[in-house]
Structure 1
C-alpha cells in the first residue's frame, strides 16, 4: 500500500548544501493520519490513469523514504488538494500534477513542468502573504545543480512565481513583521557562498539583503527560529576542516542581514559539527558544542568520549549552558545529564561496552551504561534494564530509578 502524507500547516524549511558530507534535518511538519484505504486507492487510481508509460513517481530526496503523494489544503478552503511529481523515463521530463477532489472523485487540475532528474525538496508555505500555500519545489540534476521553483495554485490556474539556483532554503518570518521571507543559501565551495533574503511584494520577489559567507565551509545544518526569547534568526552549523567547525547566527534587522555577534565563530568553535536544535523544547534554538571530559584533554579526537553541550545564545552574555548529553552513536543511545552534574563528573570507558559516569574529585561511580549483545543477554542479579534495540540490551548496575529516566534510545 502506498503511503499518503497529510500536511496541514505551512512548513519551515531546511536547506541543502552543494558539497561536502551532509547531515540533514527533516523539516518540522504536522501530519494527520492518512485517509481510509478506499479513499487512498481512489487517488492512486486517478494518478495512475494519467501517468504515461515509463513514468516514475518521485518522493522528495530531502525527506528520505516518504510518500510521493502529498495531501495539502493549498487554497485554505478546508478541502485538500493532492500534489504528485513524476519523472518520465522516455521524454526525460520532470512533471508535477495537482489533483482536486470533486464529489469523491479525484481529477487532474493543473500540470507543472520542472527541470531536473530528481525532486529534491517539496514544501508548502505562504510566501506571498495571501494566506494560501505555495508549492515550493527544488529540482536537482545531481548533487551540484539544483534549482528552486515556487508556484501559486488556484483552481483552474497555476502560476510560476520565482526560480533561482540554490543550495539550501528556508521560509520564515525572520524580521517578525507578519510576512514570511524566502531565504536562499547558494554555495560554490571554495569560490563563493552567499545568503539572500527575499520578500514577495507587488507581484514579485525582491531581494531585501544579501550577505557573503565563508566560501570554504560545508553547511551541514541550517535552521531558523527563535534564538533568544524575542529574536528570530538563521542558524548555520558549518564544517571548515576535518576537525574544525563552528556555528553562525544571522539576524534580519530592519531588513538587513547581520551577524548576531562578531564573536560567534570563536565562542562556538568545536572539533566536529553539531546540529543546532531546540533540544529542551522551550521554543528557542540551542547551539551545540563538544566538550572533552576531564582527563581526556590530551587524548586523540577518535578516542575522546565527548560530552555534547547545548547552549542558548544571549545578546549580552554570550552562551548559557542548557543541556548536556553523552551520545553513543554506534550503539544507538544517549544519556542526558541532570543539570546538577555540570562540571562535577567525567566519563570512564573501561571497555567498548561500558561507559561510567564518575565524580571528578573522588572517582565515585554515579551511573553506568553497559551494552550487552542481544544474543548474549541473560538477566543478572543487581542489574537494571534501561532499554534495548535490535543489537543490544542496555543495563546499569546503579539502583537509581530517577537516573534511569535520563537514558534514551536514538
Structure 2
C-alpha cells in the first residue's frame, strides 16, 4: 500500500505538498507568446489566460513540464464529473525559497475563479498526466517532479474544492502510465487502469513494479528485479506490443555504447518478459523503440551489418537499422529497415521488400556517395549523394530528391528507374534523432 507521509487532503487555499499538480484536458493553452496572436486562439482561451496572469504574482512566470508529449502550461478538464471545468497552471518564483507553485481555477458564470494554490518543493516539473488511475470514472492528476538527483511520482484527486493526495512521493527513473495515444493503460486486462514504475538502485539493478488502485489505495501487484545491471533506462513506452496484447517497452543502456530493449506484459497479475535474454534485442547503439510504421504496435530497433561489410572494423562500416515487433511467442517479426548517416543528419526508410535482398556497395564513401544494390545481380536500386550548393543548383529538379541540407551541403537520394513511383525511399519521422535521446 502506498500512503502519503505529507498528508492526504488539501483544502482550498495555500498548501505545501511534495509534488505539483497540473491538469490537462479538453482545452489546451500553449506558449503565452502564441496567445498574443488572435488567429491562433479562441476568445475563451484568451480570457482564461488573462485571468491566470492576474492571479499569479508579478515576478512569476508560467512554466511547462519537461515531458515533450504535452508541454502545455494551462490545461482544462472536468476533474470531478460535476459538469464544471477546472483549469490548472504552474508558475515559478525564482527569487523565493520555494520556486514552483500550482494553482487551480474553476469556471463560473462564463469566467474563472481561483480555488486554491499550493507550493511544490522540487527543482523541475518533469511531467503530468490527467487520467483516471483510481478507476472511479473521474480523471486524476498524476505528476512527476525532480528533487535534487531524484524523481518522484504523486497523484491527486480534486473533489468539492479539495485536492486529495492519493499517491505520494514514489521514487522513479521511468514511469509508464499511458499508451502512445495518451490513454490510460490496462495491462492486466481486467478493465481497470494500472501503471508501471521503473527504478534503478546504486548498483544499476532495475526494479520494475506494477501498481493498481484497489480498496482506496494503490497496491503493488507485482515486482521484478533484474538479474543484470544497466546504466540508464532512457526510454519507456506502454501500448500494444503484439497484435491484441498490451505491455511495456523499456530501452536501456548497458554501457556508453550498447543498449537493449526489454518487452514485458502482464499474465495472471505477474510481469512476464517477452524474451528470455537481453541478447535478443542487443545492439551497439542507442536506438529508440516506437511505432515506426504507424500500425499501433511498438517496434524495437537493431543495428545490422549489410552483406559484404562483415570484415570491416565497426567504425568503418555502414549499417542498416532494422525494426521488429515481438511475434507473441519467443521470437521477433521484421517490420522495416532504414539507413542513417554517421552524423545522424537523416534517416532514410528503405522499401521493406528489399530486406535481405539488397546491400550497400563497399566502394561507397561516407558523407560523399552511397550506393544500394541487389545482392544477387549488383543492380543499383538507390543512391544517396552529398552535393555542394553549386553542384545542387545544377542537379535539383532532375532525378535527385533532397533529403536534408547542412550549412554547406545538400544531401539527396534517387531510386533506379525501375523503382520510380514505388515509394522505395522515404524520410522517417526522426523518431531516433540523437538530440531527442540526449534531452
Instruction: Measure the CA separation in 2 of the matches of 1:382 and 1:68.
Output: 44
| Range that drifts further, 286-295 or 308-317 | 308-317
Counterpart residue number, 1:67: 72
Instruction: Measure the CA separation in 1 of the matches of 2:204 and 2:404.
Output: 44
Judging changes above 3 Å, is the alpha-carbon distance between structure 1 residues 43 and 301 closer, same or farther for their aligned structure 2 residues? farther
| Range that drifts further, 39-48 or 66-75 | 66-75
Instruction: Measure the CA separation in 2 of the matches of 1:376 and 1:185.
Output: 51
In structure 1, stretches of 5+ residues that fail to align are 10-33
Instruction: Measure the CA separation in 1 of the matches of 2:381 and 2:83.
Output: 54
Instruction: Measure the CA separation in 2 of the matches of 1:35 and 1:108.
Output: 25
1:55 aligns with 2:60: yes
| Range that drifts further, 158-167 or 86-95 | 86-95
Residues paired across the two proteins, number: 380
Counterpart residue number, 1:259: 273
Instruction: Measure the CA separation in 1 of the matches of 2:357 and 2:314.
Output: 22
Instruction: Measure the CA separation in 1 of the matches of 2:335 and 2:102.
Output: 44
Counterpart residue number, 1:237: 251
Instruction: Measure the CA separation in 2 of the matches of 1:239 and 1:119.
Output: 24
CA contact (8 A) 1:335 1:407 kept: yes
1:398 aligns with 2:416: yes
CA contact (8 A) 1:333 1:408 kept: yes
CA contact (8 A) 1:109 1:155 kept: no
Instruction: Measure the CA separation in 1 of the matches of 2:352 and 2:324.
Output: 13
RMSD across aligned positions (CA) = 2.7
Shift of 1:275: 1.5
CA contact (8 A) 1:388 1:394 kept: yes
Judging changes above 3 Å, is the alpha-carbon distance between structure 1 residues 167 and 110 closer, same or farther for their aligned structure 2 residues? same
In structure 2, stretches of 5+ residues that fail to align are 1-22, 28-38, 178-184, 431-439
1:176 to 175, 182, 189: 189
Counterpart residue number, 2:143: 137
Counterpart residue number, 2:374: 359
What is the SS of the residue equivalent to 1:378? helix
CA contact (8 A) 1:181 1:197 kept: yes
1:206 aligns with 2:219: yes
Judging changes above 3 Å, is the alpha-carbon distance between structure 1 residues 366 and 173 closer, same or farther for their aligned structure 2 residues? same
CA contact (8 A) 1:133 1:152 kept: yes
What is the SS of the residue equivalent to 1:316? coil
Judging changes above 3 Å, is the alpha-carbon distance between structure 1 residues 402 and 119 closer, same or farther for their aligned structure 2 residues? same
Counterpart residue number, 1:294: 307
Counterpart residue number, 1:29: none
| Range that drifts further, 370-379 or 130-139 | 370-379
Counterpart residue number, 1:116: 122
User: What do residues 303-347 of structure 1 show as CA deviations (whole Å, max 9, x unaligned)?
Assistant: 322211111212335111111111237364322222321211111
Counterpart residue number, 1:226: 240
1:167 to 169, 173, 176: 173
2:384 to 356, 361, 369: 369
Judging changes above 3 Å, is the alpha-carbon distance between structure 1 residues 104 and 329 closer, same or farther for their aligned structure 2 residues? farther
CA contact (8 A) 1:372 1:393 kept: yes
CA contact (8 A) 1:245 1:270 kept: yes
CA contact (8 A) 1:383 1:395 kept: no
Q: TM-score, normalised by structure 1?
A: 0.84
Instruction: Measure the CA separation in 1 of the matches of 2:220 and 2:404.
Output: 49
